[in-house]
Structure 1
Amino acid sequence: MASLRSPSAKKSALVGGLGISVMLALGTSMATAAPTPGPKVTPAPVNCPAEEGVSPTTITLGFFSPKTGPAAANFAGGEEAAKLRVAQENAKGGIFGRKIQMIGYDDMASAATQVTVANKAMTSDHVFGIVMTSANDAAFPTFKAANLPVTGFNVLAMSTDKNTFSVTGPPSPGVIATAVFERLKSTGASKIALIAHNTPGAATGMVNTSKANQVINAMTQALLIIDEPQGAHDATSTALRVKQSGADAAYMSMYVDGVVSISQALAQQGVSLKGVVGAGIIDPAVISKAAGPLEGMIGTTYGTIPVGVPGNVAMRTFVNGMKAAGLNPYSATPPVAYAATDLMIEGLKRAGKCLTRASFVDNLRKVTSFDAHGLIPQKVSFQPGVTPMGSPNNCSWYIQVKNGVPVPDKAPTCGKLVNTTTMAVVG
């Protein structure tokens, strides 16, 4: 197995400004019915070639997320949601008779820590694959060298590495979806302030969002900030800059706590905007705690449909399972962690009875219409598209805070895909 080297601390921001959250333990007694029936359970073959993390009766997976550190609150609940989806599948008999075991790891959203825990996962715990909701990709070169399957969302390696799969469509730093401008324009706004926190991925993403706006000429750019502090902070100076810019709309790409800090500062400075989009603002508890400044805000999930969309069986299964386990289904990360685990399970099923990393990667790479049974607002393809690993999604399903309650839009909002290197519309 490839040994891990400690790469430089490169962090990939989660699209839409990331905010996040924390842990309990799930037992199979908490399981509810999975979104769709699984394959008929048959005994696992006993004559299959040896493979890391696979025995005749079990498959061992890892789950990476920041449980501690500055990003922990933003990713809370992801591991529990992933283990819920595992418990649901195990309650049906597992994958061809093998039960899934999932081990949680705290990567602290730190490059050095992620390398350390990846080393433990691969060389000590012998995991077959990893589900990940994190803001770092330091260990991805080693995952690639081992052809270790990784499912998750919006880590930049998922647009280049064949062994990695983003459940929300492969991200690309140079290809930007313009749905956020379409949603803000629907409020009557015309002048936008673009604000990102100071991680390399978030800053680069917002610069490219600014370029995409220039291509489609959606709104007048009044302000661009790409060095906002992470997490909760005194945002008075930012609110004053927004006020002085003349902007009547804002898009904030950062952790949830940062969105709340700026919204509170805007209210304190008497700044009233026609439209504000804040990533991850979907949790009633967060909205209530902020005590007013989030009223009217347009919130985004991390790529799934929001809780509360009527008639969606998969979302209802997720919500019921989380509530039965005493967990919060409304936080930003749990739905996408659940969906990413569903994608891992899909890959395990497609890999066949004699499961190998190669059969997982090769067969899941053939999929052209995955939506986690309806949890993702549009079909995802893992065949070559705008990126070698597929095309980014160009639709988002927003909520709006009304009377302190997150209310889902009636339908997703879609935009164009803009290549910010060629400055051309590509989708």
Structure 2
Amino acid sequence: MSAAVALSFAATTASAAPTPAPAANNAKCAPSEGMTASTIKLGFFSPKTGPAASNFAGGEQAARLRVAQENAKGGINGRKIELIGYDDQANAATQLTVANKALDSDHIFGLVMTSANDAAFPTFKSQNVPVTGFNVLAMATDRNTFSVTGPTAPTIISTAVLERLKQAGVTNVALIAHNSPSAAAGMINNSKALPPSGTGMSQALLITDEPQGAHDATSTALRIKNAGANGVYMSMFVDGVVSIAQALKQQGVNLKGSVGAGLIDPALIAKAAGPLEGMIGTTYGTIPAGVPGASGMRTYINGMKAAGLNPYGATAPIAFAATDLMIHGLKLAGKCPTRASFVDSLRKVTKYNAAGMMPQSISFQPGVTPMGDPAKCSWYVVIKNGVPVPDAKSTCGKLVDTTTGKVVG
């Protein structure tokens, strides 16, 4: 079965049989970039090759599943969605090249972005191109961009991960990020948020330049050990989290608590075995699989499995949710959507949670930041007997403005 046929099959079997949407008279709409009377053209940016590729694997397939589900119901106001995938390699120059192709040659309406680079965002802003995704600094400043996890504000951060480490008994934490702009900025903010967080933790070590690809995990583990840390938070690609956890084990370092971003895939966890036991994992913003009553997550997982795809990769769930956000914005933009009507309409939304896939609702109206409120809550898993087990509930922190040290939400 081809991937396209599998996705089409999954879209029609993951839920009740869809009712085709009534035909829309779209011929009367004024010309709009990426639109015809019968189609909407969207892009999906992610690294398919390069050092970040394995971390973002499955994201585009998840996005295509969400598109297939919507197309199976007749599309949006009678228009079927066409999704074009682009390999930006998480590289600035490559991202700019494919952005120019997407806009100037392919004439996309908007795009979903799951990548570790943000070089093309000024280009998107200049043309008011709608962008949905997660964890990119531009999503805190550019009105045309929307993070499904809420804006990643340059100077505001949730203390949720610090609260979770405190619950594990950590008192002296090492903060480790790879050298992508968002990860590094986020970890610096975590460092600044420690004193006003109320957790009582101190900082043993701060690293914000861990390489994104091959790196010396043993050297990093020794730095953590020699700093006297009894806990660690690692914001980097999952391969990096695993390699440092393995190196810590080899060095005989026993920590009270370790959090690894993206550490949720049962197959990856089983393969890495012992060194991950007891670690705390977190998704890239969605709730984890296995949370009781989470119908939106069940629909996503069932659809991915029906298509023969892995629903548990680090990026796939958030890519599905970000695509759902793009579809939501298109529906709000009306029968004759334009980029401007999309942006204006989605900016009015105050409660969005991707059909229950997010641990809290997101607002895109001005609040803590001009682009909305950053998320305060995350839902963690703990590796028990080689299996990721969701916490009983999400962990919510405070929103701290790291320029003033004040709690703002």
What range is the shorter-chain TM-score in?
Answer: over 0.9
Q: How does 1:3-42 map to 2 (within 5 A)?
A: 25=4, 27-32=7-12, 33=14, 40-42=21-23
CA 1:378–1:36: 2 relative to 1, 3 Å: farther
Q: Deviations over 1:22-62 (max 9, x none)?
A: x9556423314569989953324211100011111110100
CA separation of 1:293 and 1:232: change in aligned 2, threshold 3 A: farther
Q: Which residue is 1:183 aligned to?
A: 164
Residue of structure 2 aligned with 1:365, choices 347, 365, 374? 347
Could you say which residue in structure 2 is the equivalent of 1:95? 76
Q: Distance in 2 between matches of 1:93 and 1:34?
A: 15
Question: Which residue in the other structure is 1:268 paired with?
Answer: 250
Cα deviation digits, residues 340-359 of structure 1 (max 9, x gap): 00000001100111111111
Q: 1:85 aligns with which of 59, 66, 76?
A: 66
Give the percent of matched residue pairs that are identical in Structure 1 and Structure 2. Answer: 71
CA displacement at 1:200 relative to structure 2: 3.4
Letter in 2 for 1:335: P
The runs of at least 4 aligned residues of structure 1 exceeding 6 Å deviation read 34-39
Query: How many angstroms apart in 2 are the aligned matches of 1:199 and 1:152?
Result: 16
Q: Does 1:426 align with 2:408?
A: yes
Question: How many residues get paired?
Answer: 405
Structure 1 residues 26-175: aligned runs within 5 Å: 27-32=7-12, 33=14, 40-175=21-156
Contact 1:35 1:373 in 2 (8 A): no
Distance (Å, rounded) in 1 between the aligned partners of 2:365 and 2:20: 24
How many Å apart are 1:292 and its aligned residue?
A: 1.1
Q: Which amino acid is 2:184 matched to?
A: A
Question: Partners of 2:19 and 2:232 in 1: how far apart?
Answer: 44
TM-score (norm 1): 0.92
Encode CA deviations 1:178-212: one digit per residue, 9 max, x unaligned.
00111111112211111112233322221221110
Q: 1:318 and 2:318 equivalent?
A: no
**AA matched with 1:334:** A
User: Letter of the aligned partner of 2:70 in structure 1?
Assistant: E
Partner SS state of residue 75, structure 1:
coil
**Residues 200-209 or 27-36, more deviating:** 27-36
Look up the SS of the partner of 1:63 in the other structure.
Answer: strand
Of 204, 209, 224, 2:190 maps to 209
Q: Show the counterpart of 1:243.
A: 225
C-alpha distance in 1 between matches for 2:18 and 2:121: 32
Letter in 2 for 1:322: M
CA contact (8 A) 2:117 2:181 kept: no
1:51 alignment partner, SS class: coil
Q: For the Cα contact (< 8 Å) 2:221–2:247, is it kept in 1?
A: yes
Question: Which residue is 1:18 aligned to?
Answer: none
Q: Is the 8 A contact 1:35 1:317 kept in 2?
A: no
Give the deviation of 1:336 after TM superposition.
0.3
> Are the structure 2 counterparts of residues 243 and 35 from structure 1 closer, same or farther at C-alpha, using a change threshold of 3 Å?
farther
Cα distance in 2 for residues equivalent to 1:47 and 1:414: 48
Secondary structure of the structure 2 residue equivalent to 1:74: coil
**Residue identity opposite 2:9 in structure 1:** S
Q: Secondary structure at the match of 1:337?
A: helix
Contact map agreement 1:279 1:300 (CA 8 A) in 2? yes
| 1:232/1:404 CA distance change after superposition, 3 Å | farther
